[in-house]
Chains A and B, each alone.
Chain A
Amino acid sequence: MALQNLGEGRSRPSFSRYFGMSRSAMASPATFMALMAPGVAIVAAFFLIPLVLVAMEVANGPDGWATYLVILTNARYFESLVQTLLMSAGVTVVALILCGIVGMFLVRNRFSGRSVLIGLLTLPLSFPGTVVGFMVIMLAGRQGAVGSISNALIGEKIVFAYEIAGLFIGYLYFSIPRVILAVMASAEKLDPQLEEAARSLGAPRWRVVRDVILPGLMPGLISSGAICFATAMGAFGTAFTLATDIDVLPMVIYTEFTRNANIAVAAALSIALGLITWLCLSAVRFLVGEKADLATRGGA
């Protein structure tokens, strides 16, 4: 910092000193503080303090501080945790495979209608979870597309919106735009000549994919996978709208807080959930070397 100031001092045109204008181009520390003040105040008052109070609220629970462990000790909560983890992991894997293929394809090929396809695929990025739930009802509900088609074909309405399959479809729906954007961003950085070289050396297609494309895409896949997983773990609106009997963790937290007024347990579960998503996103930095790009996280 000192060196930087020195450099600035030197580069200042001499006439400004001559005319008595010795203002530095760098604002004073007091100015920097003034600039940060509104943002810091908002974060402190409405995020940091509430965070501390939630952490303390847990102690008011049935088991005191041990309430923190309720997610592991209570069979119902633990089961919900496992279900949510499995669900999120499953959606992440499927989304990565589908979007890996499609994203790579969209980056490597130019054809008419390509930008329309990209536009459509990223459309649901800022749909709220409830709307995603409604989209699942449109697809697989009682009046849904799948039901109508199956009715016409085999004379039977297939309805799965309110089962675990429907929830899975919903999670996939809001994951696709996020993952596709991230995959395309990292696919654009890949050098197509590497693939050409591998191919010209006689590598079969699957080896080009395994040894050239996949390693190159890996950082992008890890980072978008983490975002996808974290978003799925915290997704509430979709499950809320579909009202399935699968208790994903956010639904359990909601029920404990509003219906059972079990505030301490809800707080403990929220902290556990927040820790999982935060750890998952932070792990990206250690695995990939750069931060997960939360900008693609969007709503849901």
Chain B
Amino acid sequence: MRRGGPFYAQLGLTVLLCLFIVVPIVMSALAGVTVNVFKGLSSGLTLRWIFEVWDLYAQSILLSLWLAVACLVVTTLAGVPLAYVLVRRPNRLTRMFEEILTLPVAIPGLALALALLITYGGFGSFRSSWVFILIGHVLFTMPFMVRSVAAVMSAMDMKTLEEGAASLGAGFWHRFLHVIVPNATPGILAGALMVVTLSIGEFNLTWMLHTPLTKTLPVGLADSYASMRLEIGSAYTLIFFVLIMPLLIAMQMLANPGKKRRAASQPAEDE
């Protein structure tokens, strides 16, 4: 194709948009390792702020990782069977359930948190445990796991696979665990990445659900932005980026080959 003015104009806009996204990320990463932001980079580089963040917020960072793992376990155990039923038994009832399942993503996290607080806020020990936050995260991430697994399941020839296994004498649970689940692994993997990334970054729900003893990473971030010096907020953000980048890159790598294979059937896999 001939590359005239319009090509470069569009390229320029694309690069500009990229800069808009990337410049603040780079700036905050640099500010996190700068001795004094107000004097600039010339004041030297240091890891001091990173260590200080660790001293202040290690608890909340670890809690977030723990929550993400717990959330992954729950969404996998409950979500994979759900996806199977939705694909294998598409009737009015299961479709309605699918609608309800995705509702927590369609409504603002704040509203969802409010509903949980009004219902269960009175149960003191439950309210103040990490399980309370886990429930919010599970509601919010479950649709992503179910969708991702269901997409892969509807692309594979489940009927033939199951009949083959059944004809060899495999009972349902055996088929499910040894035939269906292994074949759905790409979907589970993509869903798992999504669930973990979303759980680590979830703020809207968590801010409402957290207590002083159950602060997560993003809650700590908001706290550091509001009450700590700029360098500490930046260093904390840097830690968040370092945690989340590998997940995002893995997600993009997982999405790309899939796109070539099943481009038309499921644009849903782009996340």
Contact = CB atoms under 8 A, between A and B. Distances in A.
Interface of A: 1, 8, 11-13, 15-16, 21, 23-28, 31-32, 35-36, 38-40, 42-43, 46-51, 53-54, 57, 98, 101-102, 105-106, 109, 111, 117, 119-131, 133-139, 143-145, 173, 176-177, 181-182, 184-186, 188-189, 205, 230, 233-237, 240-241, 243, 250, 253-254, 257, 263, 266-267, 270-271, 273-274, 277-278, 281, 293-300
A126 B111 contact: no
Given A35-B84, A130-B225, A101 B13 contact: yes
Contacts of B116: 46, 50
A23 B108 contact: no
Nearest to A24: B166
Contact of B267 (A119, A133, A186, A263): A186
B143 interface: yes
Contact of A39 (B78, B117, B162): B78
Nearest to B190: A295
Given A129-B204, A130-B203, A119 B270 contact: no
Interface residues of B, number: 104
A9 B162 CA distance: 13
Contacts of A57: 118
Given A16-B167, A120-B18, A126-B244, A134 B28 contact: yes
Contacts of A235: 108, 204
Contact of A47 (B23, B100, B264): B100
Contacts of A54: 111, 114-115, 118-119
A82 B75 CA distance: 37
Given A21-B167, A126-B244, A136-B24, A234 B108 contact: yes
B1 A109 contact: yes
Given A47-B100, A236-B108, A173 B139 contact: no
Given A25-B167, A119-B252, A134-B24, 5 more contacts: A23-B169, A39-B101, A43-B139, A240-B207, A254-B110
Contact of A105 (B11, B84, B118, B197): B11
Contacts of A28: 172
B142 interface: yes
A124 B21 contact: yes
Interface in B51-101: 74, 77-79, 81-82, 84-85, 88-89, 91, 94, 97, 100-101
Given A39-B142, A270-B114, A143 B248 contact: no
B123 interface: no
B201 interface: yes
A104 to B, nearest CB: 8
Q: Which of B116, B230, B248, B267 has the most CB of A within 10 A?
A: B267
